[in-house]
Chain A
């Protein structure tokens, strides 16, 4: 998985003159964070495998030479493993796998055999690894395929050692490393020399190096082609690991902006203290997953900073407002890919266009007297298969790294789900024929927002991969109340017992078929509803990025068993008023205002 989408702003001549020009390079955001500092360009000799042969009388020497290089490679990794163990479990697992590859007895034997039959040590190592590389490179799965980098790293290290090169990664303190490729082993040494971050020309966001960078909180941008040529040694750099942007020779103004951005993120982290790092669990150990609802790629960044566990809802129709037209499949692909990459490795749920003549009326053929009950959500998408198909293809293409899910809004019949699945299969077939990569197992879920879907949750839970309850619409339809109509606004309440019963039905059904169910409506972020939802058995809540930490704080203070007792009491409630009274009883310490929030 190599990227190539470097965007160049002014011309290279400006850059070599050392002018402050804000030369912007766009790569792939591989590990979040912002760093500023001088570039340290790592240059190695390119390893070209020699075709030299070994004369028969020199075979024994050649085998010894390989054995010595091999021994050094093992001890280097052993040392890296010692550092890695102190660093984290992720780090030690990755280095350990490198060690296993180097020590693989079949490989050692096969390389020795190659030398015995006349190859020199370098050629034997290169050819041996190249065979395995090409096998793995044929993998259908892009994530598995990306592991060829591990083989490359080890091969290159062995060949460098055969040529008596020691690790020359002594990057200076407070610099940003620019390299063609970075290995996990390099990462650990960068840490020791207090390097700030790195920019690489190749690599995938799934690579072990990037996993380690994220784990170590080491900002990184990858996939900037020719970075080593474009970026001069000691040039001033800004690396924005949130957006994947690298700015070379930034102006004072830009530096100032990024310093502010950096200190804001830092302030945020300090203010929240340990909260960001903490796992979201109730006092009695029930794990709750907090996800973010977003509209744009920029918001994905906010969600990541706030420490969410994924994006629970991407409202794709936001693109329609921005553009005032249906974007092409390619435009959508770039948009979704951007979100998926910024959030990676966290999962991202993209909801299909949720249009309707009361909100985004684009493409709706005629005026509707009753838009809430009209051509909307999946009904519209099936009416316009051309639009739906473009979107499905774009989402599939963005699923390349396997962190994307697709969600269908406004489902009220099983046929709608079945037809959607057929469309998705059709699009997969098309992409396969074009040799485009995507996740064959893209999870397809549905929004539960009509009473029909809630009442039939048992059937939907069997055929959908996951369920997400949209409480606003569900309440509106269950109570037959237009929530924008002030004449009936007092009837509309998402905490009405009828709505709660439906939510419970959905949770029961999901549990029965072992499917995940989340809540992404306003109720998820409603201060009074948290205990109730947890008690009902909802362990995934998706809210605005700004609410995540507040919600986390609250969950850390509630007990699951207490929530369950609350729900038992709520079962007997027959009016919204009674529900509120019960909720208030466990929320006495909270301000009255919270309940109305």
Chain B
């Protein structure tokens, strides 16, 4: 299992478009992908789950990935967060 803290860097936060990008990316992998904020955990393959995290700019989320392809999955997801979902 891989555990990492990720940060929302883009100004608009995790609004619908970034949420959709994350779900689409996570769904490509067979690993289970979870995100947790303030004790509230969601499945990163559910767009409603990701949206309800309501993660604004600057907020930190605990990423948890478990499965056969966890290594490639986590590096892809971390990169998505670090690049601010392609937004400023």
Contact = CB atoms under 8 A, between A and B. Distances in A.
A441 B43 CA distance: 29
A136 B49 contact: no
A556 B40 CA distance: 51
Contacts of B19: 97
Contact of B16 (A97, A104, A141): A97
Interface residues of A, number: 27
A152 to B, nearest CB: 13
A141 B13 contact: yes
Given A141-B56, A441-B11, A100 B45 contact: no
B47 interface: yes
A135 B51 CA distance: 9
B48 A144 contact: no
A104 B48 contact: yes
A208 interface: yes
A136 B54 contact: yes
Given A100-B23, A106-B49, A143 B17 contact: no
A436 B53 CA distance: 22
B77 interface: no
A150 B47 CA distance: 12
A480 interface: no
Interface string B28-54: 000000000000100101111101101
B57 interface: yes
A97 B58 CA distance: 24
A101 B46 CA distance: 8
A140 B48 contact: no
A175 B45 CA distance: 42
A472 interface: no
B47 to A, nearest CB: 5
B80 interface: no
A140 B45 CA distance: 23
A96 B20 contact: yes
Contacts of B23: 100
B16 A105 contact: no
A147 B48 CA distance: 11
Interface string A437-481: 000110000000000000000000000000000000000000000
Given A138-B54, A140-B56, A144-B54, A208 B48 contact: no
B12, B17, B45, B56 interface centre (most CB from chain A within 10 Å): B56
A402 B12 contact: yes
B15 interface: yes
A138 B52 CA distance: 9
A216 interface: no
Given A132-B52, A135-B54, A144-B54, A105 B45 contact: yes
A125 to B, nearest CB: 13
A151 interface: yes
B28 to A, nearest CB: 14
A193 interface: no
A269 interface: no
Contacts of B56: 139-141, 144, 440
Interface in A172-220: 208
Interface residues of B, number: 24
Given A150-B16, A441-B11, A104 B54 contact: no
A93 B17 contact: yes
B54 A140 contact: yes
B11, B52, B54 interface centre (most CB from chain A within 10 Å): B52
Nearest to A154: B48
Given A96-B20, A138-B54, A107 B13 contact: no
Given A93-B17, A208-B16, A402-B12, A145 B54 contact: yes
A139 B48 CA distance: 14
B57 A147 contact: no
Interface in A81-110: 93-94, 96-97, 100-101, 104-107
A390 to B, nearest CB: 27
A147 B16 contact: yes
Given A139-B56, A141-B54, A141-B56, A106 B48 contact: yes
Contacts of A208: 16
A132 B54 contact: no
A429 B54 CA distance: 22
Contacts of B65: none
Contacts of A96: 20
Contact of B11 (A93, A94, A402): A402
Given A97-B17, A100-B23, A105-B46, A136 B11 contact: no
Given A104-B46, A132-B52, A441 B57 contact: yes
Contacts of B47: 97, 100-101, 104
A105 B54 CA distance: 20
A218 to B, nearest CB: 20
A100, A136, A143, A441 interface centre (most CB from chain B within 10 Å): A100
A14 B16 CA distance: 44
A107 B15 contact: no
Contacts of B11: 402, 441
A357 to B, nearest CB: 39
Contacts of A402: 11-12
Given A106-B43, A140-B56, A141-B56, A147 B51 contact: yes
B13 A143 contact: yes
A141 B14 CA distance: 10
The 7 closest A-B pairs by CB, nearest first: A139-B54, A141-B56, A106-B46, A135-B52, A97-B16, A100-B47, A144-B54
Interface of A: 93-94, 96-97, 100-101, 104-107, 132, 135-136, 138-141, 143-145, 147, 150-151, 208, 402, 440-441
Given A94-B16, A141-B56, 10 more contacts: A93-B20, A96-B20, A101-B48, A105-B45, A106-B48, A107-B46, A139-B56, A140-B54, A143-B12, A144-B51
24 contacts: A97-B16, A97-B17, A100-B20, A100-B23, A104-B47, A104-B48, A106-B45, A107-B46, A132-B48, A132-B51, A132-B52, A136-B52, A136-B54, A140-B54, A141-B13, A143-B12, A144-B13, A144-B14, A144-B54, A144-B55, A144-B56, A147-B16, A151-B48, A208-B16
